[in-house]
Structure 1
């Protein structure tokens, strides 16, 4: 029988502080809503604070809004400073926000938009907040990846910002592969501390605003088949919520829908691509990410036997 992990399985979250990026709509909103309704103090970390305030008003519980624009390292640093002041301890950091298949454009710091937003912005935010999680037993960092981490996905160290040529699909795949490489490398560094774990999740194919940047030839077909091949944001959020709250979760695990092709269904432990487990690439990406963001982490890499 297929296991059905649902919202009802979320443990009591009273006394826990959760930060959810991109929480004013879609997967992030549903993640924040369910955490708050189970007692967590939830921060909606969002670029548009007016939309964030409207989202907060729809959620029952202790919910606040924090301005955060992941396309700007200055905004990431300002948000981290605010969050550190407001919350001496953080139990959950959920790196959910993201963009998908955007036209070629760059962030305020000159990074390719998908890599800069989906990976570098969250890398910097995590590093700036990690010392608020490390002293907290049971704290977690959950990064939201995608089935797209398998599609035309590689870390293009020779052209990370896609300056020579640009592929929407390839750039998205790179960013989502980076989310997993970051998670696994972060877990290696967290393991000796024994308090905080890093895990990852993906929503399958969910009917959210991410689909708005589909290339034009796909928009009409997608509009016709979307209801048949996708699940709603509340179901899509369940893998993230399981990674964030299930007591059985251990560091370095990856959760996604349990249905065929991991497109939809109740969340279960899934596997990621072989490329996402390349330790040489993990370490190199970490080093490059530190250089690009100027953010270092209060944890060191621990060598393991090959």
Structure 2
């Protein structure tokens, strides 16, 4: 199939989707497209007012759930509320994220980018997985980034960047962790025919994610944005395909088909060699369980 677009999203009637960070950018366009194709969608967002405004713009069966991924207490509260109100979940889309933040910690003391992008989603998925496992065709889709290739490694000796801090390398670590989480989750799900784990990345897209970039980078993007950035609706296509294409297989990774995977239509792509290191995947999983206190039912 060439040039897969929103028009290729199958009918989503009867499906329940939870999308994190869905009040703006990639998450908004992902949730909007799912709702337009008939899905019931929960916008899991930190700012409830903005989430409600986004839901009103989307129309359809769209509700809002407060979720602050930088707080494990909020993650647990949100997961408990969703598990109570939704006995089945077909799609969990781990989209929310922060990028290139100054050195900060989450409410639980984790480095902000790892804590939000990886550990928050790790815990959220583990707490909701029981609602996906019995559902035929259910999927966990986690959004990574081309940034997983840039100065990226899992620094087990200093996950919190306490000795020195690089916002670029810390972001790379968090996005590499997203992929390793997906691959290890799929390995654990492989004996179950009902649920699969898939990853996606949006290429270089026009979103608010770069607001914490260094000033020279922001200035450059403002000047060259229309030339190098693709619209958020295009950046959301790899996630949508990973979430809805019947041909998707567990453990696949979707990204744009253009040069350098910066822009274009979604296809299966390959992540960095480091992301496939099984021993590191398993160690990261164990560390993530210890840090979050969340054990998976697989």
1:76 corresponding residue in structure 2: 75
- How far apart are 1:227 and its partner, in Å? 1.1
CA deviation map 1:67-107 (0-9, x unaligned): 00000000000000000001000000000000000000000
Structure 2 counterpart SS, 1:192: coil
- How far apart are 1:194 and its partner, in Å? 1.1
- How far apart are 1:28 and its partner, in Å? 0.2
- The equivalences for 1:96-111 within 5 A come to 96-111=95-110
Unpaired stretches in structure 2, ≥5 consecutive residues = none
Runs (4+) of structure 1 moved beyond 4 Å? none
- How far apart are 1:60 and its partner, in Å? 2.4
- How far apart are 1:298 and its partner, in Å? 0.3
- How far apart are 1:151 and its partner, in Å? 0.2
In 1, the alpha carbon distance for the partners of 2:176 and 2:137 equals 26
- The equivalences for 1:134-145 within 5 A come to 134-145=133-144
Unpaired stretches in structure 1, ≥5 consecutive residues = 300-306
Matched, 1:12 2:28: no
The TM-score normalised by the length of structure 2 is 0.99
In 2, the alpha carbon distance for the partners of 1:218 and 1:40 equals 38
- How far apart are 1:220 and its partner, in Å? 1.4
Root-mean-square deviation over aligned CA pairs: 0.7
In 2, the alpha carbon distance for the partners of 1:236 and 1:218 equals 20
- How far apart are 1:211 and its partner, in Å? 1.2
In 2, the alpha carbon distance for the partners of 1:109 and 1:98 equals 17
The TM-score normalised by the length of structure 1 is 0.97
In 2, the alpha carbon distance for the partners of 1:60 and 1:220 equals 35
1:304 corresponding residue in structure 2: none
- How far apart are 1:213 and its partner, in Å? 0.9
In 2, the alpha carbon distance for the partners of 1:220 and 1:43 equals 35
In 2, the alpha carbon distance for the partners of 1:51 and 1:218 equals 27
Structure 1 counterpart SS, 2:190: helix
